[in-house]
Homo-oligomer: A and B are copies of this chain.
Amino acid sequence: MTYCVGIKLNQGLVLLSDTRTNAGVDNISKVKKLFTWQVPGERIISMMTAGNLAITQAVISEINERIEAPNPNEPTIFSAPTMFEVAQVVGDTMRKIQNRYGPGLAARNVDSGATILVAGQRVGGAPRLFLVYAAGNFIEATEDSPFFQLGEHKYGKPILDRVINVDTDIQDGVICALLSMDSTIRSNLTVGMPLDLAVIRTDSLEFEQIRRIEADDPKFFEFSNAWSNALREAFSEMRMMDV
């Protein structure tokens, strides 16, 4: 399983992923699911992946290979003129990989399902966030739905629903993403530390943060404990209610 959350705020983009991958509960390993690209001063892109690992790795590798050696008449994520077309490149690459392996996987009853969050900004454009499906089609985050989740989304959704709107401060967005992840890790063994975090402030065209948060990170441990205490206090206040 996987848990990734991508948030598009007026102040910028927040991306957070776990790093656990598993084939059954008895075969668990660590894999990076958050990827970043940058053309200084021109564009900044980050993606997070979920689903069939061979599929998502092939999509990311293919995207990288085409940056080095573009196909004639096909844009790459570095040459696409808008973030919408970047998402189209990712979707087209997904379709290509699905066409290559999908039938063979289906014949073996293996799920080829995969999804990719694509976030970024081009100079002159706005920050945008897309969710690319296995068929290569995609949807975009809007004012009304400013975040997307991949994988095990339910445990961590209530806090996002309560806190996030497009006007949320970007640091609050980071805190909220981390709390959403914390709830998910506590409830689903197949979502696990370390975490990868990327923060892109609007119009900076730079990563304000690209961080790996390790399992033994003392700050995250304190953060997680502080949230437990804050929730317990919140719960205590509810004792005053007559329901």
Contacts and interface: CB of A to CB of B under 8 A. Distances in A.
A233 B175 CA distance: 14
Contacts of A220: 243
Nearest to A179: B238
A-side interface mostly: helix
Which one of A154, A157, A179, A223 has the highest number of Cβ atoms from chain B below 10 Å of its Cβ? A154
A37 interface: no
A172 interface: yes
Nearest to A152: B154
A67 interface: no
Nearest to A219: B243
Interface size class of A (residues with CB under 8 A): 35 or more
B161 A187 contact: yes
B175 A239 contact: yes
A232 B178 contact: no
Given A158-B155, A187-B157, A187-B158, A227 B219 contact: no
A157 B186 CA distance: 10
Nearest to A242: B219
Contact of A154 (B154, B176, B178, B223): B154
B243 A223 contact: yes
A186 B160 CA distance: 12
B158 A228 contact: no
A175 B238 contact: yes
A170 B52 CA distance: 44
Which one of A155, A161, A228 has the highest number of Cβ atoms from chain B below 10 Å of its Cβ? A155
Interface of A: 154-155, 157-159, 161-163, 171-172, 174-176, 178-179, 183, 186-187, 219-220, 222-223, 226-228, 230-235, 237-239, 241-243
Given A154-B155, A227-B238, 5 more contacts: A155-B158, A158-B187, A161-B186, A172-B235, A226-B238
